Structure 1
Amino acid sequence: MSDLPPMTSVKRWLVTTNHKDVGVLYISTALFYLIFGGVLALAFRAHLWEAGGIDLLADREYNQSVTTHGLLMVFWFLSPLAAGFANYFVPLQIGAKDLAFPRLNALSYWFYLFSGLLLGISFFQGGSFAGGWTMYAPLNVPTYTPAMEAMAGGTATVLALTLFVMSITIGTVNFLVTIHRSRAEGLGLWNLPMFTWSWLLTVWMMLFAFAALLAALLLLSVDRIMLTQYFSTDQGSSLLWAHLFWFFGHPEVYIVFFPALGIMFETFQTFCGRRLVGRKWVIISMVLVAVQSFLVWMHHMFLTTINLEIKTLFMATTIGISLPFDLMVFALIYTMVKGRVRFTTPFLFSLGALVLFILGGITGVFLGAVVLDYEFRGTYWVVAHFHYVMVSGVTALVGGLYYWWPKISGKMYSEKLGKLNFAVYFIGFNLLYFPMFLAWETPRRVFNYPEGAQLYHQIATVGAFILGASFLIMFATFIHSWVRGPDAPDNPWQFSRTAEWAIPSPPPLENWSDRPSYASGRLEFVDDSQAATDGGVVATEKVVPEEEHADHASIWPLGIGFGMFLFFLGLSGLTPYVAEFAAARGAEDIVNMGEPNVMYPIITLLGVATMGVTLFKFGVEEFHAPEMAIAERWPFGGVGNSKFGVWLFLASDVVVFGAAIGAYIFMRIHVGWNTWEPVPPSTMAGLFNTYVLLTSSFTVILALVMAERKNKQGLLATLGATLLLGFTFLGVKSWEWSQEFAHGVYWFTNLQDSIYFVTTGMHALHVILGLLLAMFMIYRVVSVDAYLEDHRPVEFFGLYWHFVDIVWVFLFPLFYLM
């Protein structure tokens, strides 16, 4: 399925892999989740009209509304809206025809859509998660939450977030490969448009930050489904979750804000009629922030038992990370002062975002000081500061919608309606959030507050409805533009500088009729076919090969996404079965998890079957996404797109395993290193498995040699040997676990056993995935003589398998020898 149906067809949007279509899907879906989260916000703001609440929501309903609102806005609205802009415009800005892996781009979207649907379904499974969007331990496990909520609804929320993180990881790898290896000729990294620069740094942060969150969510998921004990004990569980979550959580602030900042840079340049002042220093500042963002997470933990010296160090890093932002703010101000400002709707929203961010940043400095944080932590001061920072990003993103609307839709909007939208938005924003600074003594996530703060809360509630009305005006503006707006020119903005404005509005399917090039120092379009006909040579002195046809349609990303959705939905209700098993084996502290529902195992198996079929079809589908014949690829010119993508995926997986191993080390130190006895019954079994895996790495190397020599029988033999060794490893591991079970040791027995079974189980899951890949490769070799002409997939499989083996080299001494 390579031909793309027309845009008026529903089928088009189910099968498309084109980056512009996926961008539109992301933007529209993010706006839907904005409405979802906004309605929840209006509900609990109305509930706060009086000091004791107005009985609009019950206690648990209020907590679920606040929690889900936070999750939706932080995860399902802010970043995906920016991802929609990036999907649509980053390839255009860098001169590419699509992202490096179009089908993975579509898969990322479907994972995102289905993750949000799973979150919505959680309300109908006995109640959604209600422990706050930060999911602090031990309130994130069934033992410490109401019985119904401890069941499927709360688990579905955790799994929905897990599926969302999987979407982010796939998209992150795709963007990094694209930006680093698919830039137009002559477009160096230093000269990237500012929005693309901001997105490049965003996805680099995403690659590592979301991997830490994925590790935390996997550990939390096995706690909720399999009843392990990572976050249900008094042995450092709360601190462990805080470390894992905030190692992700603080970079997330910049992950959310950087794309908005990029939009501000673009719109300030366009509507001030001059290049961004101090552009190179702004880029350096952004790089510094991206790096420092991983060094400040502990300022969220000033109220814990961490010693004062460490807290002081992190107070210094917190203050230090604000300095690069000062430079960025002054760069925007000087760009405006030295330019000729035109107060269009996009510029007004960007200027408003700058004003709001300054106030949010200043109030955040208070929280960066240990002494003041003791007073403000857990109050509405944090709520107000957080929203002045995060929703200032929303302000710039709305400006981005107006800025790029003519390019996406081909229609101009009404400036009068746009400016009315901004006025209502800005008033509503400040009426909603500024009174929270004055009502700062109100505890966050609590609807009982002192009567003296009631006026502030009532003003905030009025502001919430005004802010909500501003989004209705925004939607009305775009609908009016779509129905009655005049056609947009290719470039409606006089001083725009980026490549997307050099092509028609909306852009054609393939983006460019001729190849964009910056070899001369400015954007030009090179007719390669004419150059080849005339015997000419392009600027790189290489004759351009004939371009391959690119496909744009595949149904299998949708199928995989649906299968994963069913699988996670089924998993969310399996806890009662595990509870019955645990109770039958003497686990008396297992709480009542309710009656098992037979539908959940059926849905789980249906999800597994659907994924099996669709992943197989995805693997055998003929889909062409050719690399650009001529492109700037520094500093990754020596590797292909697929190999670079594998390296990036493995880098993310290193963080996942690092977090799991770090959790083991943290908890063991907290409990007492010398009181921790090895769980496995036999060191020799672990040593034997080490030899087995190391030998399998050797057979994978031989497989690559056989593929390079086009030796089909040798390739089958070496892949078969790898398969046999992998199954041997799993067989020994199964025997080892069965010995534990025979002696009454299970994954739910105690913390030590939980960590052993989960960590080695994560590794075993990687082995199983590797074996499935090996079996698929053997099938392809037998059926179509695959990998004999192009041996690269064997090499990529080898990289993954070697990684799995290296992880075991670390796990063996940690669990068997120490």
Structure 2
Amino acid sequence: MSGDLPPRSSVKRWLVTTNHKDVGILYLVTAVFFLILGGVLAVLFRVHLWESGGTGLLDGTQYNRAVTVHGLLMVFWFISPFALGFGNYIVPLQLGAKDLAFPRLNALSYWFYLFSGLLVIASFFLGGAWEGGWYMYAPLNVPEYNPAMPATRGGDMTILAIMLFTMSVTIGSVNFLTTIHHFRAEGMGLWNMPLFTWSILLTIWMMLFAFAALLAALFLLASDRILLTQYFASEGGSSLLWGHLFWFFGHPEVYIVFFPALGVMFETFQTFSGRRLVGRKWVIIAMVLVAIQSFLVWMHHMFLTTINLEVKTLFMATSIGISLPFDLMVFALIYTLVKGHVRFTTPFLFSLGALVLFIIGGITGVFLGAVVLDYEFRGTYWVVAHFHYVMVAGATALIGAIYYWWPKITGKMYSETLGKLHFAAYFIGFNLLYFPMFVAWETPRRVFDYGEYLEPWHKVATVGGIILAASYFIMFYALAKSYVSGPDAPDNPWAFSRTAEWATSSPPPLDNWTGRPSYASGRLEFVDERAADGGVETATDGAGAGAAAEAETARQANAHDDHADHASPWPVAIGLGMFVLFLGLSEMDSYVESMHPEIEGSPDVTALVITLLGVAVLGVALFGLGRERFEAPTMPIAERWPFEGVDTTKLGVWFFIASDVVVFGAIIGAYLFMRIYFGWGEFETVPPSATIGLINTYVLLTSSFTVILALVMAERENKRGLLASMAATLLLGLTFLGIKAYEWGYEFSQGIFWYEELQYSMYFVTTGMHALHVTLGLLIAGFMIYRIVSIDAYLADHRPVEYFGIYWHFVDIVWVVLFPLFYLM
């Protein structure tokens, strides 16, 4: 069992912690680090643009890298993780939970996030960072069509870094969804959840599917660059394929970024106007509609492609339609202020500023939703200005969140004078930086030169950028001064706050509560479950009753240890293993090139050694995680609609499967798209043996039967039967892979390689992705057999066998889809 957490002053504490508040702080601090790095790059290229002519600080390659990595860092490594830092810290408190559902997975998600960012930084020093834009358009994302951007190790490393980041997002999404749907305090229905938690819930639902599509796209791109496949190096539809895959992620990402900011605005507007949000249920419905619609508008990013006008018109309608729910939310915020008594604190000023900026960004975005205007504005600084007025408006509200929850996180109050000075400098700098871009809209995007007549506007923008950057120094000084010598914060410093995090101490204790939070009576109460009569001790409506918070703090001081664990060394070890593995993979293309008859060169032995080292570290860490006894905080009494009949871990498995369905759907969809594009009948397919494919289908389906048999044996506590059934599953899976290896070997002997033709690439990559899933399943099965033999596992609790079965059946179903696609059609 994991030991107690070391003190906060110890470095070990931050390496092994799994507590949601610690992980939230790690996310926030790391996101600020990447904000500073991205901001430095932004200042560099803004200074470069001081004069027209492209004769500034940077050469063309340096400029492209600075702009690209700035975009990548801000979109992937700053804004969303920054919001999830607050989500980690605040959401369990607002729900009345002691932690997230899977604390070790929460820590693992953070370490994947950190190490993915370190991979991007390393790319600068290992062959050169990615310079082809954060959107990575095909076919310029492959070296064959972009000689100016060679297949550098740094470029490959950046792609692998984003893949690792998407894995972090997937793990985090499964965790948050399971927590919000299973760990709500008694009496807290979905309708009654705080609006910040609602915004995180919808954000995570969008993340689950949008980032799965991005992961599939990146997997195909990485296979092109490392394995030399032909997905985006083929003539014809490759650019359209990338556009569909990327923007199916890319447009929901706008709302993924902005929804947490909306949640902050809802909370702060209520708190500092002293009034409940007007039209609260309609606002929730509007957010749900936007979350759904966000996946139906991606093609408006592709108006300049060869897509026919009828389809473009349809997506123009959906793009304009998605603005309507936002209109409702904006009017709800404004009307809440009109009816309230506003106090202009620092958090409120940033939230109000975010609303103003977002209105400008939304209105200018409607222009881009019209096909005719998009033809004129696409590829200009109008898009740059609109994009930042939306995305950085979200960041503006999140900065307000720093000030809003700073007293809760640190137990210290900040200086309102410094906070308001920060807002003034920030708001002035922001508008001086981005509004001139609307005026200078004729400046081409992604180009370091522009017309001399636009130079005054670019100089104003550069001055604004410097002021905006300087405003952060005010924030850093204000927060540092507060942390070192600021006055102690009360448990609830805001007079009209309504949510549960203000009903515990500042900062909260390790397990958040001693009594069990409950809303069964219609208001927040703390049930002392250790009391002999099981009675209710103290109640508060969450609106600032100080006595309730003091009573809760007293109970926490006298609390007994409930033996929940908050530390594990394995998440950071797994993250390190993935980091080393991806470092090695970034140079593994040399091995494939050495196999290609038209490419000269010898394989890089160092890359192979690093890759194998990463596999070894990863294997040891995963084995250690599996063997570790870890007791996560539980919530026996909680609201779980609409998943009351599903236990917590099974729900997490189902959420993971839902994400994986999108990954496979995108990869299979890529095959169908390209085959239809080239003509279904004219498309030459790989001629695999239908007989071999049919045999393998029977083998895999039989393995599903043995998994069911294993579950039956576990339920009957029959160790021999369980062991035999799991061993049979393992053997059948190995048989499937053996037959697949024989089939591939025969195809190689016939001169059919994955790097020769597009159809070969699609066959090997799609079936290879499935084989990878089979291999992962077999590793899990092998570990489970080890546990059965060594400690008689799964006899007293058969649920892990059931969870493994869900995954294995999914893998089998995928093969049932792939078999007719590649063997019969």
Bin for the TM-score computed over the shorter chain:
over 0.9
Kindly report which structure 2 residues correspond to 1:351-366, keeping only aligned pairs within 5 A, or say none: 351-366=352-367
Aligned mates of 1:472, 1:557 — CA distance in 2? 33
3-state SS of 2:185 partner? coil
Q: Does the 8 Å CA contact 1:696/1:722 hold for their aligned counterparts? A: yes
Q: Residues 131-180 of structure 1: CA distance to partner in whole angstroms, max 9, x if unpaired?
A: 10000001111223347741210000000000000000000000000000
3-state SS of 1:744 partner? coil
Q: Does the 8 Å CA contact 1:128/1:149 hold for their aligned counterparts? A: no
TM-score of the two chains, using structure 1 as the length reference? 0.97
Q: Do structure 1's residue 707 and structure 2's residue 710 form an aligned pair?
A: no
Aligned mates of 2:689, 2:195 — CA distance in 1? 57
Aligned mates of 1:212, 1:144 — CA distance in 2? 24
Kindly report which structure 2 residues correspond to 1:434-513, keeping only aligned pairs within 5 A, or say none: 434-513=435-514
Specify the alignment match of 2:591 in structure 1.
Answer: 577
Specify the alignment match of 1:305 in structure 2.
Answer: 306
Q: Does the 8 Å CA contact 2:527/2:534 hold for their aligned counterparts? A: no
Aligned mates of 2:286, 2:772 — CA distance in 1? 40
Specify the alignment match of 2:671 in structure 1.
Answer: 664
3-state SS of 2:517 partner? strand
Q: Does the 8 Å CA contact 2:525/2:536 hold for their aligned counterparts? A: no
Specify the alignment match of 2:192 in structure 1.
Answer: 191
Deviation at 1:681, TM superposition (A): 3.1
Q: Report the residue type matching 1:806 in the other structure.
A: I
Specify the alignment match of 2:542 in structure 1.
Answer: none
Kindly report which structure 2 residues correspond to 1:680-699, keeping only aligned pairs within 5 A, or say none: 680-699=687-706
Q: Do structure 1's residue 772 and structure 2's residue 786 form an aligned pair?
A: no
Q: Do structure 1's residue 566 and structure 2's residue 565 form an aligned pair?
A: no
3-state SS of 2:322 partner? helix
Q: Does the 8 Å CA contact 1:547/1:629 hold for their aligned counterparts? A: no
Specify the alignment match of 1:752 in structure 2.
Answer: 759
Specify the alignment match of 1:644 in structure 2.
Answer: 651
Aligned mates of 1:596, 1:699 — CA distance in 2? 42
Aligned length: 803
Aligned mates of 2:533, 2:183 — CA distance in 1? 26
Q: Do structure 1's residue 419 and structure 2's residue 413 form an aligned pair?
A: no
Kindly report which structure 2 residues correspond to 1:6-155, keeping only aligned pairs within 5 A, or say none: 6-146=7-147, 149-155=150-156
Deviation at 1:784, TM superposition (A): 0.2
Aligned mates of 1:430, 1:181 — CA distance in 2? 43
Aligned mates of 1:760, 1:597 — CA distance in 2? 27
Which is further off, 144-153 or 689-698? Answer: 144-153
Specify the alignment match of 1:543 in structure 2.
Answer: none
Specify the alignment match of 1:791 in structure 2.
Answer: 798
Q: Residues 67-101 of structure 1: CA distance to partner in whole angstroms, max 9, x if unpaired?
A: 00000000100000000000000000000000000
Specify the alignment match of 1:217 in structure 2.
Answer: 218
Kindly report which structure 2 residues correspond to 1:228-307, keeping only aligned pairs within 5 A, or say none: 228-307=229-308
Specify the alignment match of 2:545 in structure 1.
Answer: none
Aligned mates of 2:537, 2:10 — CA distance in 1? 40
Structure 2, unaligned stretches of length 5 or more?
A: 539-559
Q: Does the 8 Å CA contact 2:169/2:207 hold for their aligned counterparts? A: yes
Which is further off, 620-629 or 741-750? Answer: 620-629
Aligned mates of 1:535, 1:286 — CA distance in 2? 39
Q: Does the 8 Å CA contact 2:41/2:66 hold for their aligned counterparts? A: yes
Deviation at 1:596, TM superposition (A): 4.4
Deviation at 1:538, TM superposition (A): 12
Specify the alignment match of 1:542 in structure 2.
Answer: none
Specify the alignment match of 2:608 in structure 1.
Answer: 601
Kindly report which structure 2 residues correspond to 1:607-622, keeping only aligned pairs within 5 A, or say none: 607-622=614-629
3-state SS of 1:516 partner? strand
Deviation at 1:629, TM superposition (A): 1.3
Q: Residues 752-787 of structure 1: CA distance to partner in whole angstroms, max 9, x if unpaired?
A: 000000000000000000100100000000000000
Q: Does the 8 Å CA contact 2:209/2:662 hold for their aligned counterparts? A: yes
The structure-2 alpha-carbon separation of the partners of 1:488 and 1:813, relative to structure 1 and needing over 3 Å to count, comes to same
Q: Report the residue type matching 1:109 in the other structure.
A: Y
Q: Report the residue type matching 1:780 in the other structure.
A: R
Q: Residues 154-210 of structure 1: CA distance to partner in whole angstroms, max 9, x if unpaired?
A: 000000000000000000000000000000010100000000000000000111010
Q: Does the 8 Å CA contact 1:20/1:87 hold for their aligned counterparts? A: yes
Q: Residues 586-615 of structure 1: CA distance to partner in whole angstroms, max 9, x if unpaired?
A: xx3x5x7x7643321111110000000000
Specify the alignment match of 1:674 in structure 2.
Answer: 681
Q: Does the 8 Å CA contact 2:47/2:56 hold for their aligned counterparts? A: no
Aligned mates of 1:454, 1:636 — CA distance in 2? 59
Aligned mates of 2:109, 2:683 — CA distance in 1? 41
Aligned mates of 2:466, 2:660 — CA distance in 1? 43
3-state SS of 1:80 partner? helix
Deviation at 1:537, TM superposition (A): 10
Alignment equivalent of 2:563, drawn from 530, 541, 549: 549
- Give identity over the alignment, percent: 75
Q: Report the residue type matching 1:577 in the other structure.
A: Y
Alignment equivalent of 2:641, drawn from 631, 634, 644: 634
Specify the alignment match of 1:382 in structure 2.
Answer: 383
Q: Do structure 1's residue 717 and structure 2's residue 724 form an aligned pair?
A: yes
Deviation at 1:271, TM superposition (A): 0.3
Q: Residues 388-427 of structure 1: CA distance to partner in whole angstroms, max 9, x if unpaired?
A: 0000001000000000001011100000000000000000
Deviation at 1:536, TM superposition (A): 6.4
Aligned mates of 1:255, 1:795 — CA distance in 2? 33
3-state SS of 2:530 partner? helix
Q: Residues 496-528 of structure 1: CA distance to partner in whole angstroms, max 9, x if unpaired?
A: 000001111100011002111101111111111
The structure-2 alpha-carbon separation of the partners of 1:574 and 1:47, relative to structure 1 and needing over 3 Å to count, comes to same
TM-score of the two chains, using structure 2 as the length reference? 0.96
3-state SS of 2:681 partner? helix
Aligned mates of 1:495, 1:286 — CA distance in 2? 24
Aligned mates of 2:535, 2:126 — CA distance in 1? 66
Aligned mates of 1:450, 1:536 — CA distance in 2? 75
Specify the alignment match of 2:548 in structure 1.
Answer: none
Deviation at 1:238, TM superposition (A): 0.2
3-state SS of 1:525 partner? strand
Specify the alignment match of 2:533 in structure 1.
Answer: 534
